[in-house]
Amino acid sequence: MKKCQVVAIAAAIAAGSICGLGVPGSTRTAAAAEPAVTFREDVLPVFQIRCVSCHSPTGEGYKASGLDLTTYKGVIAGTKYGPMVVPGDPDSSNLMRLLDWKVSPQLRMPHNKKQLSVCDRDAIRTWIREGAKDN
C-alpha cells in the first residue's frame, strides 16, 4: 500500500503524528503484496475529511478558487486558473506545494487549519508520481 507506512514510525516521531492508526504495524511490513496507492482508498478519503467542507460546490474554497475536491474529475480539473496536479510530477504540482506549505501562509492548505500528516501528504505525492490515475 503506502510507502510511508514503512517509515511511519520514524515520521511519527518526527512529525508527532501516526499513520494508519488502529491498524497493526505488523500487517504493514508485507508491502510487496499490497496494491499501489489508489485515488479512492488513499487520496479521496483525505480530501473528504480535510478539504471538502470548503472545496465542494457550496464551500468557501470552491467559491474562491473553483476547485472541487469531491470527485476525481474535479481534482484533475483544478482551479479556475488551471490544473493543480501534474500527473507523474509531484514536484511541479501546485497541489503539493500548497500541502507542503511551500507557499505564502494564506495559500497553505487546508486553509487556517492543521497541516496534513506526512503520511497523508506522501500518499498524495505517490499517487501523483504514479500518474494521478482514477484508480
Contact residues for ligand HEC (CB under 6 A)? 47, 50-51, 53-55, 60-61, 64-65, 67, 69, 79, 81, 84, 94-95, 98-99, 106-107, 109-113, 116
CA dihedral 115, 37, 126, 3 (to 10 degrees): 80
In this complex, which beta carbon is closest to ligand HEC, that of residue 11 or of residue 96? 96
Q: Contact, 84 vs 128, CB < 8 A?
A: no
**b/e string for 55-82 if b means 16 or more Cβ within 10 A?**
bbeebebbeebbbbbbebebbebbbeee
Q: Which is nearer to ligand HEC, 8 or 128 (CB)?
A: 128
Residue closer to ligand HEC, measured from CB, 1 or 46: 46
Give min distance, CB of 30 to ligand HEC, in A.
29
Q: Are 119 and 45 in contact (CB under 8 A)?
A: no
Quick one: 26 or 106, whose CB is closer to ligand HEC? 106
As measured in angstroms, the least distance from the Cβ of 33 to ligand HEC is 30
How far apart CA 124 and CA 88 sit, in angstroms, is 12
Min CB(8)–ligand HEC separation in Å: 19
How many angstroms separate the CA atoms of 76 and 90, rounded?
Answer: 13
What is the closest distance, in whole angstroms, from the C-beta atom of residue 95 to ligand HEC in the complex? 5
